Amino acid sequence: MKKLKLSHVDQAGNPAMVDVSEKKITKRNAQARAIVFLGKKVLAEVKNNELITKKGPVFQTAIIAGVMGAKKTAALIPFCHPIGLEDCQINYTISDKHITLNSNVTITGKTGVEMEALTAVAIAALTVYDMCKAISNEIIIEKVTLLKKTGGKKDFHR
């Protein structure tokens, strides 16, 4: 059986951060998506693409939380390199069954921003849940998905 070489384990078998000091600086971008099924009670409260609960404007708050989450990814996920994001955009669309949250994160650096893009939509989705849970417990978060990444060794498109 072939033994796997793990990227985040040192010679002694201990957890270790990947050394990116020799990597080339390139423009890197990642896009991610999360789907939040709100349920009929919550969707009935949406007016003009906005939803305001007792906690405030839901989607605008989710966007702010998502950007904050993306900026704190290295503090949340072991071995993610702390990076200074150059851009983090989050937007949403509402259908008759769910809200779709999309992130687009960019940096010029030595490591990618996939985890930051995923964290952005995950935190935004959790914020929607938190702000709407008093209306309904039928909210479902699913399909947190990396859609695209460019820059670095290889590009990825789903």
Would you please indicate which residues are annotated as catalytic (active-site) residues?
130
Number of other residues whose CB lies within 10 A of the CB of residue 66: 31
Return all residues near 9 (Cβ < 8 A) that are at least 6 apart: 15, 16
Q: Which residues contact 29 (CB under 8 A, 6 or more apart)?
A: 104, 105, 106, 113, 148, 149, 150, 151
* Token representation of residue 95: 């259908």
What residues contact residue 30 under an 8 Å CB cut-off, 6+ apart?
A: 103, 104, 105, 112, 113, 114, 116, 117, 118, 146, 148, 149, 150
